[in-house]
Homo-oligomer: A and B are copies of this chain.
């Protein structure tokens, strides 16, 4: 099965558990609404790419790791969009969860998606319980405190922000989780894969800053210019569009250089370059050589 189909099908199975008979209907509906239709599924694709480069000897475990990472990502989007944070009206070309279902259900949707991520790992990793120990730890590190997504978001409540800790936690942590979890799901040592994820996370952050500054709302599916409105740091505002595009290209090369020696390295490199191009909307993509 092609990676995109593997991911959608793993996510569908995961969400179906949360919708089982007895579930409160609005919560179940909001959870599916928060996960489907998705964006480019960049993080789970990266996870599967690394798992394949490491042999992918247990595709069920790799699929569950990929799905769990995307569920954590969706959870963080739902909570980031809440009125007490970004108060965002739209996301992925539709109303945000709190606009569609109300703030209480949006808070619970995020909570339940976080829980579902870990349940999904446990359901997928039963053949290799030792890998589950690693996967739960790796995804926990990426999602919580001191250096996961929740910590990243919490820096926005601090008077003095550690900018690098902020960006690494808010964006980098889940990209790093995607590469290390892909390796762990395939039974490989995870840590050699961390730098690849971190570099891609930094690249994605620069691309997201570019989208925010340079694109119209219709193209990116959420309001443009939010960083300026919310007083947040933005690489494209600091470096200019050209400077930010250069930085993006440099980070992508750094990511490729960080791929550990493995049988699937060439194919993985090609996939990373293709994925990194998708970070940007069409209007900002450099013309291929």
Spell out A's residues near B (CB within 8 Å): 17-28, 31, 75, 79, 82, 84-85, 101-105, 107-108, 110-112, 114-116, 118-119, 121-123, 125-126, 129-130, 132-133, 136-137, 140-141, 143-148, 150-151, 153-158, 162, 165
Shortest beta-carbon distance from A194 to chain B in Å: 15
Contact partner of A105 among B22, B104, B154, CB < 8 A?
A: B154
Bound Cα distance A29, B278 (Å): 39
Contact B22 A146 (CB under 8 A): yes
Bound Cα distance A150, B156 (Å): 26
Residues of B within 8 A of A24 (CB): 145-146, 151, 154-155, 157-158, 165
Contact B129 A145 (CB under 8 A): no
Shortest beta-carbon distance from A116 to chain B in Å: 6
List, sorted by A's number, 19 A–B pairs whose CB atoms are closer than 8 Å. Answer: A18-B145, A19-B146, A20-B146, A23-B147, A24-B157, A26-B154, A26-B157, A27-B157, A104-B154, A105-B157, A111-B143, A112-B145, A115-B140, A118-B136, A122-B136, A122-B140, A129-B132, A129-B133, A132-B133
Contact A115 B114 (CB under 8 A): yes
Residues of B within 8 A of A146 (CB): 17-24, 28
Residues of B within 8 A of A122 (CB): 132-133, 136-137, 140
Bound Cα distance A22, B150 (Å): 13
Shortest beta-carbon distance from A182 to chain B in Å: 18
Residues of B within 8 A of A85 (CB): 104, 107
Residues of B within 8 A of A144 (CB): 18, 111-112, 115-116, 119
Contact B119 A136 (CB under 8 A): yes
Residues of B within 8 A of A137 (CB): 119, 122-123
Bound Cα distance A49, B39 (Å): 47
Shortest beta-carbon distance from A49 to chain B in Å: 25
Q: Closest B-chain residue to A76, C-beta based?
A: B111
Q: Closest B-chain residue to A156, C-beta based?
A: B104
Contact partner of A107 among B105, B107, B136, CB < 8 A?
A: B107
Beyond the given A26-B154, A122-B137, please list 14 additional residue pairs across the A-B interface where CB-CB is below 8 A: A19-B145, A21-B146, A24-B158, A28-B146, A82-B107, A104-B157, A105-B157, A115-B145, A119-B137, A122-B132, A129-B129, A129-B133, A132-B132, A132-B136
